[in-house]
A and B are shown apart, each in its own frame.
Chain A
């Protein structure tokens, strides 16, 4: 199970940190991802992080502004979001890579947390 938290209303240019708490599986064995969905729009992959935090990558739309991290001891995934823009408004989901490698399917999803960027 994955449970996100930290979503809020924030002003343009502001910052926010999302969290995702994992349970029911060996968190440290799996790549993890953040995926977002703007209101009424489709899914957009945001970022991934390897099981040991050695590898990360980001969508061009957030590169340089967002930072993904994880704490395997706490079974938690994070997304630090800086310089937020109106177009970052979305439901943010955390999701697990099925096989423990990057490039596989997302087999477990959280319920999502809403981020609204507005003045």
Chain B
């Protein structure tokens, strides 16, 4: 069950900035860190952002994350064609004692 809400789609032209929102509640985003995953077509998800804003080694600094209250956002600046993918937010949920994922956002590069 998806407890975190994301817009189903987002788009932009090459070079533009795209932002994806992720809305949750007090038991998940409100009290735990947020992670973001990128899933390219036909592949396994890949960790993109962890602990709200940290990037794993190898992830371009075009990708940035932030969190405020019970919401978080992922920004992609300088959009490139290879950024066309599905993006998911996720967080630990204290009430469920488990992880919850966002509904997912498909990013299209026009």
Chain A residues near B (Cβ < 8 Å):
33, 35, 42-45, 48, 57-61, 93, 98, 102-107, 109-112
Contact = CB atoms under 8 A, between A and B. Distances in A.
Contacts of A42: 2, 88, 101-104
Nearest to B39: A43
A105 B35 contact: yes
With a 10 A CB-CB cut-off, give which of A45, A57, A105 has the most chain B CB atoms. A105
Given A42-B2, A42-B104, A44-B1, A107 B56 contact: yes
Contacts of B96: 59-60
Interface stretch (B17-25, B46-54, B72-80): B46-54
Contacts, number: 62
Given A45-B100, A48-B98, A98-B50, A109 B92 contact: no
Contacts of A44: 1-2, 101
A45 B56 contact: no
Interface residues of B, number: 25
B50 A107 contact: yes
B27 to A, nearest CB: 12
With a 10 A CB-CB cut-off, give which of B46, B47, B96, B104 has the most chain A CB atoms. B47
A89 B104 CA distance: 19
Nearest to A102: B92
B63 interface: no
Nearest to B49: A105
A33 B2 contact: no
A105 B47 contact: yes
